[in-house]
């Protein structure tokens, strides 16, 4: 049966997610992890780990930033901190960070998360041979390519079934640079301001954009929602379903997580029906913020149409 990984923005939301039945909490600190709903500092993270473990659940900490020389030197100390906390797994995408993890022999299992680079079974198996216990498949990989991929992978994989899908990251502060160029006052460019960009002559596009310590992040117009496709996700044997609540606050995200937990359990029990899928869709529609829309992303795209 698939295990469900859910991001979290607070201890309060984490408790709601655990009550909803998620198997893993996913969190981290902006200095080391990418696109997190909240940056859990060293003073906050121990309580989150304790909360997960007291509930008999697990926690994965993001160490998947792209590290330049000035930041890679901080990774070993952070991994020691996570080791002392008895974190269950870390997600890592930078080979330099993996090298730090392994040369220091930190006893931390790692999920390989190279973002949109993880698109083939050969790449996944390469990192499996180099210590990865799982891999995060890029959300750009459609069903037609997931079928052969799942037939040849040697380690478990994780796939995004709900949430924001990043389409571009730059290490440069692109938004601040833009406002400086046009000489407009810019108070902040972080996620809370709700900035977005649109393609020329396409008013329906709504690419959310924000900046943090890792640079500028741009997201697809619609968030991913695979509730209508969960039968195929289940039949593929994907071992981890990831839920990303970056743009969904508090209890709303916990309600969505509960819908996916219910779906996972019904699929495993052989009791999943079209009516239950419709119920799940209603829960998602009721709890997804009004300024966001969802679809199945790349999942249903014909691989032959991708140019």
Question: pTM for this structure?
Answer: 0.87
One domain for residues 93 and 141:
yes
One domain for residues 178 and 98:
no
One domain for residues 146 and 199:
no
Q: Span 126-148, mean pLDDT?
A: 96
* Residue where a domain terminates, one of 152, 182, 216: 216
Structural domains of the chain, count: 2
Question: Taking the chain, what is the end-to-end CA distance rounded to the nearest angstrom?
Answer: 35
> What pLDDT digit, counting tens, does each position of 289-301 carry?
887 888 898 899 8
The upper half-sphere exposure of residue 81, i.e. CA atoms within 13 Å in the direction of its Cβ, equals 17
One domain for residues 118 and 7:
yes
Indicate which CATH number applies to the domain containing 49: 3.20.20.70
Average of per-residue pLDDT values in the chain: 88
Which residues 6+ apart lie within 8 Å of 207 measured at CB? 167, 196, 197, 198, 199, 218, 219, 220, 221
Phi, psi of 25 (to 5 degrees): -95, 140
**pLDDT > 60? residue 182:** no
One domain for residues 37 and 144:
yes
What are the residue ranges of helices labelled H in 201-273?
230-236, 250-269
Q: Name the helix (H) or strand (E) containing 100.
A: helix 95-103
Q: Which residue has the higher pLDDT, 268 or 197?
A: 268
Task: Give CA–CA dist 12/26, Å, rounded.
Answer: 14
| Residue 205: per-residue pLDDT | 55
- Structural domain range at position 180: 170-216
One domain for residues 230 and 247:
yes
**pLDDT > 70? residue 200:** no
Which residues 6+ apart lie within 8 Å of 155 measured at CB? 124, 125, 127, 128, 132, 133, 134, 135
One domain for residues 210 and 195:
yes
Q: Span 258-268, mean pLDDT?
A: 98
| Residue 29: per-residue pLDDT | 97
Of 93-97, 127-131, 203-207, 271-275, where does mean pLDDT reach its minimum?
203-207
* Tally of CB atoms within 10 A around 176: 14
121: left (phi over 0), alpha (psi -120 to 50) or beta: alpha
One domain for residues 189 and 107:
no
- 65-73's contacts with Cβ under 8 Å and 24+ in sequence apart are 65/31, 65/32, 65/33, 65/34, 65/93, 65/94, 65/97, 65/214, 66/93, 66/94, 66/171, 66/214, 67/94, 67/96, 67/97, 68/171, 71/31, 72/96, 72/97, 72/100
243: left (phi over 0), alpha (psi -120 to 50) or beta: beta
Q: What one-character DSSP code corresponds to residue 191? A: G
Residue 216: pLDDT band (50, 70, 90) is confident
One domain for residues 91 and 212:
no
One domain for residues 291 and 228:
yes
Task: Give CA–CA dist 159/76, Å, rounded.
Answer: 28
């Amino acid at each position: 049966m698939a295990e469900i990984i859910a991001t979290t923005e607070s201890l309060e939301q984490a408790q709601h997610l655990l009550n909803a039945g998620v198997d893993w909490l996913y969190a981290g600190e902006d200095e080391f992890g990418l696109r997190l709903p909240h940056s859990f500092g060293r003073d906050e993270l121990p309580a989150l780990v304790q909360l997960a473990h007291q509930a008999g659940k697990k926690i994965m900490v993001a160490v998947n930033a792209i590290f330049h020389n000035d930041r890679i030197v901080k990774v070993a100390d952070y991994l020691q901190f996570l080791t002392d906390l008895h974190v269950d797994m870390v997600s890592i995408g930078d080979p330099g960070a993996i090298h730090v993890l392994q040369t220091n022999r930190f006893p931390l299992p790692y999920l390989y998360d190279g973002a949109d680079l993880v698109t083939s079974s050969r790449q996944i198996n390469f990192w499996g041979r180099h210590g990865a216990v799982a891999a995060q498949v890029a959300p750009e990989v459609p069903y037609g390519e997931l079928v052969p991929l799942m037939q040849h992978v040697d380690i478990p994989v994780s796939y995004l079934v709900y949430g924001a899908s990043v389409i571009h990251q730059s290490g440069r502060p692109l938004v601040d640079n833009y406002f400086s160029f046009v000489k407009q006052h810019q108070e902040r460019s972080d996620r809370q301001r709700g900035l977005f960009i649109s393609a020329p002559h396409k008013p329906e596009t709504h690419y959310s954009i924000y900046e943090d310590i890792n640079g500028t992040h741009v997201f697809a117009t619609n968030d991913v929602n695979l509730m209508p496709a969960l039968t195929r996700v289940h039949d593929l044997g994907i071992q981890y379903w990831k839920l990303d609540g970056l743009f969904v606050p508090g209890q709303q995200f916990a309600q969505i997580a509960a819908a996916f937990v219910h779906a996972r359990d019904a699929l495993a029990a052989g009791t999943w029906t079209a009516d239950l899928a419709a119920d799940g869709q209603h829960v998602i529609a009721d709890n997804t913020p009004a300024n966001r829309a969802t679809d199945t992303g790349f999942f249903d795209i014909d691989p032959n149409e991708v140019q």
